[in-house]
Amino acid sequence: AALQETAFVHRSAKMVQEERIWLKKQLQNMNLWVCDSQANYLFFKGPKDLEEQCKKRGLLIRDCSNYRGLSKGYFRIAVRTREENDRLIRIFQDIIREKQKESGAIYGWQK
């Protein structure tokens, strides 16, 4: 029965494609490097402690530092619904804003 449900598959694929484009743009707007993707996830580079900071806020992301050749700061996130993606972006923005404030970078200088 699941194999016969082609309309759902097409709707889901279209949603993932649209959300992947939107999510990638939002990450790039935060000056994060994002790898191109055709899948339902994005691979990107961010602050080294992003995973820990996200956990404190109830958000789980995949730390990819155990992948061969990668170090702390590489992550993978799933492409989800707009509501979920928007929540993820707001959390990332809060974390990055806090880091900028701590370093003084938000004011154009660093401590």
Strands 41-45 and 33-34, by their bridges, are: antiparallel
pLDDT of residue 110: 45
Which string of b and e fits 24-55 if b means at least 16 CB within 10 Å? bebbeeeebebeebeeeebbbbbbeebbebbe
Alpha carbon distance 4, 98 (integer Å)? 48
102 confidence band (pLDDT: 50, 70, 90)? confident
Could you tell me the CA-to-CA distances from 88 to 52, 54, 76 in Å, in that order? 14, 9, 12
Could you tell me the CA-to-CA distances from 87 to 2, 55, 80, 93 in Å, in that order? 30, 14, 10, 10
pLDDT of residue 111: 43
pLDDT per residue as tens digits for the range 46-80 = 999 999 999 999 999 999 999 999 999 999 999 99
pLDDT of residue 108: 53
pLDDT of residue 109: 45
Average pLDDT rounded to a whole number, residues 18-38: 97
pLDDT of residue 103: 81
Average pLDDT rounded to a whole number, residues 83-107: 89
Alpha carbon distance 29, 5 (integer Å)? 37
Proportion of the chain above pLDDT 90, given as a percent = 80
Average pLDDT rounded to a whole number, residues 85-109: 85
